[in-house]
Every structure is written in structure tokens, then in C-alpha cells.
């Protein structure tokens, strides 16, 4: 059973009310408002208008409030015991103050094993707490002493009667196969109360756009890099993390699997933004925007990648991850896309297309 919280009146311009929010920090994202119907009518089409705004292009990201999208009660299907996957991540701190997050080999397991608390209600808590700029920055400096974290991913239908609100736009047609979490929505669950979980600094595979909608629980705090500083970021990371120097793909930074502290970003003179995202709010990341996240407790979010109308798959200049370039086999590459042209593969959706580069594999999505 699930219920949606009653809608709150929000100024549709997203400007005046956004400025008056106590947690609308000077570091925050451009903030706007939308509706559940906007998402249902087409997520990619709705977000495309924000992608064309100069204020969003400049920072590569924005927050959109969707009144009524938050869920007051969450009860998971019993099927979660076999359909959801719990991952255990090892947290290792290094001399530069960053933390490395590594998926323990063989640690994936049924979400229900020793985690039956997932069947209980997720409270939409911590909604009145606010943070100063210095406190927000410190969330990405003080990582505590924990040596592991738990995170769970699974299909949206783990929530009974939940109707997914997000779609991938033209991306689903551009892909030769459905990939949960990319072309169809996925749930990302931080399952442990009062325990933070982190997502590494990364951009989306193939420079896709993405959207992440918090449904219930504790807030997510996002840190994003301003696109004009991407080159400086990559140069500094290669300089200070030698393991990146032998990575030759277009998504090198993701292979670091690390959360970078704001202290380092400040030292390197890299501009970034930080934004609190609460239930009933979504974060939209533009193609190529680097971001990292801290979940402030137990929460649930729906997430998906997307392409806008008229967008094309990555160009021939995009260097996909593979064993030769970066010693990574489990990643999206050109074989997942279909392209216009003559083909022996036949037609797809009534249009002749050519499937490029190889075989069909199923990449593993990283947590958010």
C-alpha cells in the first residue's frame, strides 16, 4: 500500500519560493517547479526545456520540485527477497582525504537476507533540518570511520501499486536492448536508518542525461562540478591518482570509485555546487556533468538515464570502456546502440538500423 503526500502550493516559476527556502544555499542548484503530470507526459520532453536554459547549462544540473511525488508510506513486495539485490561496499580512506568505495567481490546477495527491516515503513524524516554552506561542504569532508556501507537496487515494481514517473525519452529507441536503470527506471535504496551512504564522483555512461527523484526517507545531498572545470578536474585527478593514468576511455574519472572532499576541490580551484534534495524533489543532470552524492540516512529514489528528442547516441569519437582501454568489461559500449543505415539485422520499430560493435551484454549499474 502506498499513499502520496498532499501537494504543496509552489510558485511555478521556481524562483521566488526557491530563494526563500532556508536550505537554498549560495552553493545550490538552479531550482524550478513541475508537476507529476509533467513527468507522466514525458520526462525527457519536460526536462528538455530546462536543458536549454543558460543558467542550467552553466552549472550542468538543476533541482525541480514535484509536489505530490513524495510517498508517505512504502511497503515492499515480498518478492523483494529475490528481485532486489543488496550490495556491500568497502570504504577505504586515503592520504588525500578522499574515500574509495569498492564493491566487495561476491558480496551481492538477495535483499531479504538479514535485511527484513526493508519491509517496514520508510518515514519521510529529517525534512525540517537545514544546513549552512560550511555544514554542506563538511558533509563531503568528514566521512566518519565506517568501513562498509550497504546499498540496494531493484526494479520499480518492488513497490506495490507504484506507478513509475520517469521515462528515458528517445534513449529507449536508440538502444538495442532494455537496460534497467538506464532505459527503464530503477529503485535505489539506502536501507540503514541513521547511516550515511555515498556515491562516487562520476558522470553518466555515454554522457547520458539523468534524473533522480527522491520518493521517501532522508535527503540526498548532491555535489556537482561546473562543466567549465571538467578539464581541470581530470588533470588534477590524473596528477594525484596514478591509477587513472592508464585509463584511456571517455569516462576515466568514474574508474577512481572515490568521493572527492571539498577541501581538495577548493585547493584545486574547481568550482562546484551543493544541493539538498528531499522527497518530492528531483535532480536533473545534463550530459557530461560530474556529480557525487551522500545519502543522509535511509531513503528511496527512482532514477533513469535519458535522451532528449532529436539527440543522437555518442559520436564515433566517444571512447567506450572495455578491457583494452581501461580493463573493464562490464560497461555500456557501442554494441548497445542501433544506428540508421542498411543492415542484415532487419528493422527495429519500423526503421532500418544497424547494430554496431559486437554482442549484447548487460552492464551493472552503479548505485546512486
Cα(245)–Cα(326) distance, integer angstroms = 10
Q: Where are the domains of the chain?
A: 16-318
| Alpha-carbon span 88 to 109, nearest angstrom | 9
Lowest mean pLDDT among 119-128, 242-251, 272-281, 305-314: 119-128
Residue 351 is predicted with a pLDDT of 27
Residue indicated by cell numbers 511555478: 12
pLDDT digits (tens, 9 = 90+) for 174-217: 887 888 788 888 889 888 888 899 999 999 988 999 999 999 98
Residue 124 Cα distances to 63, 73, 102, 188, 193, angstroms:
19, 8, 29, 16, 12
Say if residue 95's pLDDT is above 80: no
pLDDT classification of 113: cutoffs 50, 70, 90: very low
Whether the predicted pLDDT of 14 surpasses 50: no
Looking at per-residue pLDDT, the higher value among 316 and 242 belongs to 242
**CA 36 to mean position of chain CA atoms:** 20
Query: What is the pTM for the complete model shown?
Result: 0.83
Task: Please tell me the distance from the alpha carbon of residue 1 to that of residue 152, in angstroms, as a whole number.
Answer: 20
* CATH class of the region 16-318: mainly beta
Amino acid at each position: 500500500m502506498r499513499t502520496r503526500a498532499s501537494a504543496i502550493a509552489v510558485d511555478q516559476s521556481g524562483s521566488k519560493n526557491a530563494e526563500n527556502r532556508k536550505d537554498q544555499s549560495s552553493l545550490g542548484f538552479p531550482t524550478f517547479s513541475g508537476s507529476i503530470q509533467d513527468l507522466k507526459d514525458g520526462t525527457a520532453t519536460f526536462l528538455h526545456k530546462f536543458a536549454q536554459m543558460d543558467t542550467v547549462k552553466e552549472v550542468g544540473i538543476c533541482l525541480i520540485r514535484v509536489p505530490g511525488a513524495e510517498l508517505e508510506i512504502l511497503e515492499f513486495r515480498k518478492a523483494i527477497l529475490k528481485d532486489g539485490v543488496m550490495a556491500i561496499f568497502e570504504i577505504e580512506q586515503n592520504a588525500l582525504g578522499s574515500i574509495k568505495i569498492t564493491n566487495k567481490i561476491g558480496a551481492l546477495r538477495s535483499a531479504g537476507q538479514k535485511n527484513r527491516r526493508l519491509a517496514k515503513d520508510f518515514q519521510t524524516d529529517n525534512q525540517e533540518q537545514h544546513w549552512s554552506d560550511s555544514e554542506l561542504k563538511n558533509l563531503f569532508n568528514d566521512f566518519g570511520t565506517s568501513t562498509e556501507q550497504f546499498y540496494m537496487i531493484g526494479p520499480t515494481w518492488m513497490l506495490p501499486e507504484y506507478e513509475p514517473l520517469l521515462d528515458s525519452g528517445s534513449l529507449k529507441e536508440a538502444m538495442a536492448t532494455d537496460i534497467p536503470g538506464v532505459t527503464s527506471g530503477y529503485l535505489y535504496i539506502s536501507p540503514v536508518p541513521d547511516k550515511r551512504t555515498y556515491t562516487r564522483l562520476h558522470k553518466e555512461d555515454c554522457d547520458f542525461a539523468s534524473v533522480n527523484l527522491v520518493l521517501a526517507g532522508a535527503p540526498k545531498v548532491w555535489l556537482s562540478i561546473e562543466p567549465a572545470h571538467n578539464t581541470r578536474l581530470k588533470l588534477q585527478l590524473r596528477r594525484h591518482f596514478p591509477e587513472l593514468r592508464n585509463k584511456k576511455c571517455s569516462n576515466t574519472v568514474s574508474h577512481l570509485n572515490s568521493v572527492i572532499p571539498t577541501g581538495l576541490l577548493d585547493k584545486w580551484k574547481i568550482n562546484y555546487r551543493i544541493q539538498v534534495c528531499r522527497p518530492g524533489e528531483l535532480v536533473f543532470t545534463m550530459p557530461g556533468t560530474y556529480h557525487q552524492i551522500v545519502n543522509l540516512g535511509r531513503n528511496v529514489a527512482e532514477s533513469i538515464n535519458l535522451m532528449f528528442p532529436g539527440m543522437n547516441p555518442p559520436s564515433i569519437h566517444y571512447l567506450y570502456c572495455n578491457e583494452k582501454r581501461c580493463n573493464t568489461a562490464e560497461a555500456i559500449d557501442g554494441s548497445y546502440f542501433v544506428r540508421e543505415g542498411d543492415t542484415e539485422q532487419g528493422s527495429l520499430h519500423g526503421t532500418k538500423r544497424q547494430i554496431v560493435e559486437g554482442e549484447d551484454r548487460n552492464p551493472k549499474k552503479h548505485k546512486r
